[in-house]
Amino acid sequence: MPVSAAVTSIGLVVMWSSGFIGAELGTREAPADTLLMWRFLAAAAILGGAWALFRRRRLRPRALAEQAAIGALSQGGYLGGIVWAVGLGVPSGTAALIAALQPLAAGALAGRLLGETVSPRQWAGLAIGLGGVALVVQGDLSAGPTTAPAWAYGLPFAAMAALLAASFLERRARAPLAPVDAIPLHCLVSAVLFTGVALAGGHAAPPAGGGFWAAVAWTVLLSTVGGYGFYWLSLRRNGVTGTSALIYLTPPTTLVWAYAMFGDAPGWTALAGMAVCVIGVTAATVRRPVRRRPDRSARLAEEPARDRAVPRVPAE
């Protein structure tokens, strides 16, 4: 794997998983829709201002329309569905496991929609990775019944489908944009969506405590700029199947974040799940070197000259 691809993959896993820690930090201070509203208002102001100052260029109307739809799905649909489900009482581990079905769905659809070939080894890796995620969140799944309504369990499925649809739409975009151009637009669309939700729920006013704004800064810098920046970069370099497989590593990495930030030590089942996730992702993403048959002309060139000499005709 080239160095740039390795850095992209590591950056995606670390930064994408930081979003769950940022959500924990923020929702301790305010409702989820308040956090999402101010997160994307701040991100849109910072990234949009930087784009206007340093990157300002004319964008085609088709590119604006495509990226607006991608942003609404990848940020509004995905984050809104996950946070709303957890807020209604769906265990975070259950939501993570449902969202982790994305790689299998991506593998099933990549061939039909994008022409990406998914090998049997990749299918096996995706299945192994899903088993690892199940081990990681096993404690959450066995915690007992919840108060969440039955329909709330459909929200993580909708969130997973929204991110998957955004991924396919980006790969099929007729006027693609670089992440530095696309992410500010995504944040602007998400800011409009979540501001409307917070205003409708009466949760637009931010709390006065500094902890809330620290959580906003965390989610803007690490989760939005870092997480989505690496996601779209990985999508272009590793494809839909490879990028989606890396999502399997985010629940184990989140456990590491939680241990470092909150002192939540993972159990042996979670540690075993981490190892299984690594095995599955390795099988799904690392390509075997292709062995080439030696060229016959090159082999002949290496043979001693006497072996290729024309035999002399004996004199009569």
- Tens place of pLDDT per residue across the chain (316 aa): 454 778 898 999 899 888 878 888 888 888 889 999 999 999 999 999 999 998 878 888 999 999 999 999 999 898 888 878 877 777 766 677 677 667 666 666 665 555 566 677 777 877 787 787 777 767 655 655 667 787 887 888 888 889 888 988 888 888 888 888 999 999 999 999 999 999 999 999 999 889 999 999 999 999 999 999 898 888 888 777 778 778 778 877 887 888 888 787 777 777 787 788 778 777 776 655 545 445 444 444 445 544 444 445 444 4
The residue behind tokens 């990157």 is: 55
pLDDT at 258: 80
pLDDT at 116: 60
pLDDT at 110: 61
Extract the tokens encoding 87.
């807020």
Residue 44: burial class (beta carbons within 10 Å; 0-12, 13-18, 19+) = buried
pLDDT at 150: 76
Three-state SS for 214?
A: helix
Our CA dihedral for 140, 25, 192, 12, rounded to 10 degrees, sits at -70
Cβ(155)–Cβ(92) under 8 Å? no
pTM over 0.95: no
Classify each residue of 25-39 as buried b or exposed e, where b means 16 or more C-beta atoms within 10 Å of its C-beta: bbbebbbbbbbbbbb
pLDDT at 83: 78
Cβ(211)–Cβ(99) under 8 Å? no
pLDDT at 3: 47
